[in-house]
Amino acid sequence: MYRLAKPLLFRLPPETAHEAITGLLRVAQRTRLERAYAGHYTVDDERLSVEAFDQSFPNPVGVAAGFDKNAEIPRALAALGFGHVEVGAVTAEGQPGNPRPRMFRLREDEGLVNRMGFNNAGADVVGERLAEQRLPDVPVGVNVGKSKSTPLEDAPDDYRYTYEQVAEDGDYFVVNVSSPNTPGLRELQNREQLAAILEALQDAGAAPLLVKLSPDLHRDAVVDAVELANDLGLDGVVATNTTTDRPDALRSPNAAEKGGLSGRPIRERATDQVRFVAERTDLPVVGVGGVFTAADAYEKIRAGASVVQLYTGLVYRGPSIAREINEGLLELLDRDGFASVEDAVGADL
């Protein structure tokens, strides 16, 4: 069905198409229709299960932050066979984000460029929504960002406020200091400012707590960030966010648009970042960037990722992507003689 619908959706502006899809998923969740399709998309096999940062994942394939910014459809997404759903990024203040158009398809490259700017309803609304709905039986993470209007020196209090509004119903929390679309945000990745944010959240009781890194960080800065995560006793590292760099091989004219690039063009770079981080910590790593197939997910798992996340792959491959990846992972595990996904984590390190 998605093969038939995709050409029609791709005639719409990307953000309009996304709103149409999320609108359908909202209806499915509201009417409990997700229970009808869950059996079709879910692969139930204990070999896929993963234990990481105090959470039990039925499979390693999750939805990355950005798809469900306002926690409207976590149950509908989980019913598509995903092993976890990360909502947000959520900010203390509701904000409209950057002017449209702010999302662009790179069709020839199977990528997206976005400069959304943390558009979301705000921590009060998202926190209330999480509290009022029945959440899925898979981990639901909350990605926490900085409000655009908040000065960098006040960032710790801003992040803490957001956490406190969603604390009761999130299963884990990700500090997002790596989006390229909020002015100055990436400056918070330096050790001193990042430590202040993380310590403020830990003082508020945030756990499990992870930090999401940029693929554009210099290697020395990545080492600093990982050392800080180790020193503070964080629960994991997410690698990576979108990149402002543009590989020379890109063919789409939309590659010239400003914003963060995701999808196929950053697969290798993201996997290299996963490997670089995993070699320097025993903390679980969440691998994000260019996951379209079982081979893509397996590559990141063998590079050290305990679980993986995707967004752009869902746009290009459609609602069966989690099922296809999980079925393919079982074949790859059998081929290589691994008893489970957990046995394959870091096999190439």
What is the predicted pLDDT for the residue at 187? Answer: 87
Asked if 48 and 334 count as a contact pair (C-beta separation under 8 A), the reply is no
CA atoms within 13 A on the CB side of 273: 30
CA atoms within 13 A on the CB side of 121: 15
Q: Which residues are annotated binding-site positions?
A: 65-69, 89, 114-118, 143, 176, 181, 212, 240-242, 263, 290, 311-312
What is the predicted pLDDT for the residue at 186? Answer: 87
Q: Which residues are annotated binding-site positions for FMN?
A: 65-69, 89, 143, 176, 212, 240, 263, 290, 311-312
Percent of the chain at pLDDT > 90 equals 95
What is the predicted pLDDT for the residue at 319? Answer: 97
The class of domain 2-344 in CATH terms is alpha beta
CA distance 311 to 309: 7
* Structure tokens, 337: 């003689």
- Which pLDDT tens digit goes with each residue over 15-74? 999 999 999 999 999 999 999 999 999 999 999 999 999 999 999 999 999 999 999 999
What is the predicted pLDDT for the residue at 2? Answer: 84
Instruction: From residue 343, give the alpha-carbon distance in Å to each of 99, 273, 291, 302, 305.
Output: 46, 21, 20, 9, 12
Specify the DSSP class assigned to residue 136: P
Asked if 119 and 143 count as a contact pair (C-beta separation under 8 A), the reply is no
- With a cut of 90, say whether residue 212 has pLDDT above it: yes
What is the predicted pLDDT for the residue at 143? Answer: 98
**Weakest mean pLDDT among 34-43, 185-194, 307-316:** 185-194
Positive or negative, the CA dihedral 124, 165, 211, 274 is: negative
Question: What average pLDDT does this structure show over 200-221?
Answer: 96
What is the predicted pLDDT for the residue at 185? Answer: 84
| Stronger pLDDT, 267 or 184, i.e. the higher one | 267
Confidence of residue 182 (pLDDT cuts 50, 70, 90): confident
User: 79: closest CA among 37, 141, 50?
Assistant: 37
CA distance 307 to 342: 9
CA distance 190 to 325: 35
Question: What average pLDDT does this structure show over 169-176?
Answer: 98
Give the chain's mean pLDDT: 97
What is the predicted pLDDT for the residue at 244? Answer: 96
Peptide bond into 240 cis (omega under 30): yes
Percent of the chain at pLDDT > 70 equals 100
* Structure tokens, 125: 């609304």
What is the predicted pLDDT for the residue at 181? Answer: 84
Q: Which residues are annotated binding-site positions for substrate?
A: 69, 114-118, 176, 181, 241-242
What is the predicted pLDDT for the residue at 18? Answer: 98
pTM given for the model: 0.97
- Which pLDDT tens digit goes with each residue over 109-150? 999 999 999 999 999 999 999 999 999 999 999 999 999 999
For 86-115, b where at least 16 C-beta lie within 10 A, e where not — what string?
bbbbbbbbbbebbeeebbbbbeebbbbbbb
Q: Give residue limits of the domains in the chain.
A: 2-344
By annotation, the residues acting in catalysis are 179
